[in-house]
A = this chain, B = another copy of it.
Amino acid sequence: MWIGPPLYARVVRGAEESARRPTIREVAAVAGVSVSTAARAVNGKTTVDPELAAKVRGAVAMLGYRKQRAAGSLRGARSGTVGVIVDDVTNPFFATVLRGIENVARPRGVMTLSGSSDDRSADERSLVDAFLERGVEGLLIVPTGTDQSYLQPDLRSGTVAVFLDRPAKFLDADAIVSDNVTGMRAAVSHLVAGGHRRIGLIIADRPGIFTADERQRGYEEALHEHQLAIDPTLIGVTDLRGSDADAVTRQLLEGDEPPTALITAHNLITLGTLRGLQALERERDVALVAFDDLALAELVKPPLTVVKQDAYGLGRRGAELLLERLEGFSGPGRHLVLPTTLVARGSGEIPPPPR
């Protein structure tokens, strides 16, 4: 076998001082086998003479060889990456979704590229572009409100997409969501059972966002079911992130016929509402049921009654749906709905004032 000068030089120098990474060709040269055999050994194929495989392992260790999957993926090998887009990793709900994905994907050799869209469609799209350029096999997306039909061509050419927490719009794809309507109905029913008739809802101003719409629908359906009127003065609307939930809460409680109980539609709103209640010193006489659990929920006074979502399960099951398709499943989009759980801790069991 003839070894050209540059290769020869590298092999002789070993891994000492080069700026380049060693290649499979160099591994093969050092091990004294062909590139094919070196590649087979590196990839753990069983059809390799154990002695040669050992030589290859030795060469790999000596050179500090690392396979570059990018090269193989050009020839059709899997890239072993998926792209994940969440609203904001900094929100524990989405961090938990991400961890659920990772815990399913990683043991199967799939790593996650991730990014936060901050619920902006433009950011969602630029993240999708960036991920696809980088060869992800699939996408797990918490979609923004608008429209996901832009993914159609990519789905046709083999990319797989699964939508988390909210379904895609104008696109047939797998989706996995929480049972927002039932969760919200449970919150309302719990308060009604506790004697409340004036139940306020504090929700973010996100028309078109699935979770917001569904939760509002659950609220209205439950009121209807309990023969209670939908009173717009009981519904407080915050900005997208719920950063003014504090003020909105106070306003709601300072109305003429204020609610005796409140429901907050997501975890960031809950923070503001708690602040508002504490500022008014009303946290012990206004009932509160919060959508989403919080780390300190049991430790505030009174402890927070919540509707828990299975954020981790959203990630896990979503990743499973994706991996099934990467391993060959094809068929129309599947829609999974994960149950929510009402956890009574105290704040939701405050009775209405006697009248």
Q: A135 is contacted by which of B69, B96, B129, B278 (Cβ under 8 Å)?
A: B69
| Interface presence of A102 (CB below 8 A) | yes
The bracket for how many chain A residues form the interface is: 35 or more
Q: A113 is contacted by which of B81, B92, B301 (Cβ under 8 Å)?
A: B81
Binding stretch for chain B, among A152-160, A211-219, A235-243, A256-264: A152-160
Q: A95 is contacted by which of B74, B92, B135, B296 (Cβ under 8 Å)?
A: B92
Would B17 and A156 count as touching, CB distance under 8 A? yes
On chain B, the residues within 8 Å of A132 by CB distance are 66
Would A156 and B92 count as touching, CB distance under 8 A? no
> How many chain copies?
2
**Complex interface bits, A283-297 against B, C-beta within 8 A gives 1, otherwise 0:** 000000000001111
Known: A17-B156, A111-B130. A68 touches B275 (CB 8 A): no
A95 — nearest CB in chain B belongs to which residue? B95
Binding site for B on A (CB under 8 A): 15, 17-22, 64, 66-71, 73-74, 79-81, 88-90, 92, 95-96, 98-99, 102, 106, 109, 111-116, 129-135, 153-154, 156-158, 271, 274-275, 278, 294-301
Count chain B CB atoms within 10 A of each CB in A17, A19, A111, A154 and give the residue with the most: A111
Q: How far is the CB of A176 from chain B (nearest CB, A)?
A: 19
Q: How far is the CA of A15 from the CA of B68 in the complex (A)?
A: 30
A66 — nearest CB in chain B belongs to which residue? B132
Q: How far is the CA of A47 from the CA of B156 in the complex (A)?
A: 34
Would A99 and B90 count as touching, CB distance under 8 A? yes
Would B79 and A70 count as touching, CB distance under 8 A? yes
Known: A102-B116, A112-B113. A90 touches B92 (CB 8 A): yes
Known: A19-B158, A21-B157, A157-B19. A133 touches B295 (CB 8 A): no
Q: A-B pairs with the 6 shortest C-beta distances?
A: A296-B296, A64-B153, A70-B70, A95-B95, A21-B157, A70-B135
On chain B, the residues within 8 Å of A112 by CB distance are 113-115
On chain B, the residues within 8 Å of A20 by CB distance are 157-158
On chain B, the residues within 8 Å of A99 by CB distance are 88-90, 116
A94 — nearest CB in chain B belongs to which residue? B95
Q: How far is the CB of A106 from chain B (nearest CB, A)?
A: 7
Q: How far is the CB of A304 from chain B (nearest CB, A)?
A: 9
Would A64 and B299 count as touching, CB distance under 8 A? no
Would B89 and A133 count as touching, CB distance under 8 A? no
On chain B, the residues within 8 Å of A90 by CB distance are 92, 95-96, 99
Would A274 and B301 count as touching, CB distance under 8 A? no
A20 — nearest CB in chain B belongs to which residue? B157
